[in-house]
Amino acid sequence: EEKLFYRSNGPTFVRNRSAIVKDDQIHALLSLLHQDYRDLGMTISVYGSLEDVKSDRNGTMERYMHKTNLDGVFSGEYGGYHQEGFVFLYPFNHHVRNSKLEDSVRRLFFVFDLMHEVRHAYQRIYFSSRRKKGYVEAGNDGYHSQWVERDANKFAQRFMEKYKECIDAILGIPFVWRC
């Protein structure tokens, strides 16, 4: 079994294959973060479809994502995933009932997922011992009750509430929303 490559502090790279959000929008969202979040050594990959995921499967993704997690992507369960500084985001997996608002709602889900996974990258650097204790994978009982997931959800929610107007301006959200 191949050993995972651990990325330490360093620049953030963005690999965007999605039309739902543009590169400059991703960078603008990331620039709202405190300086502690700027050099976490992340590679953020955003996928526009399952086909994009499948085409990247034999590259970066396969090395850093366990098969059970890939199954979660293919079944539509996952909006995002983090492993050792690699962030994978799947905005296409969020289903929206109102087709007129579909792109905007997916953008908001994207922001939440992005900030949730960025927080995991932060935890990897600054809370490494606490983060690894008895982690439960998504889809299992206890997943949402563990500290790392509660902390990442709370961080993403606080970010969205604090920067609501900036998010609206960056992403062109045309309606009033609450996180």
DSSP 106-165: HHHHHHHHHHHHHHHHHHHHHSHHHHTTT---TTSTTTTTSHHHHHHHHHHHHHHHHTHH
Mean pLDDT by 10 residues, the chain (179 residues): 53 93 97 91 92 79 69 89 90 92 95 97 83 64 81 97 98 93
- The confidence score (pLDDT) of residue 70 equals 80
Dihedrals phi, psi of 131, to nearest 5 degrees: -65, -35
- The confidence score (pLDDT) of residue 8 equals 64
- The confidence score (pLDDT) of residue 3 equals 40
Q: Give the CA angle between residues 64, 56, 107 to the nearest 5°.
A: 90
- The confidence score (pLDDT) of residue 145 equals 77
- The confidence score (pLDDT) of residue 139 equals 63
Distance CA 29, CA 171 (A): 9
- The confidence score (pLDDT) of residue 10 equals 81
- The confidence score (pLDDT) of residue 177 equals 94
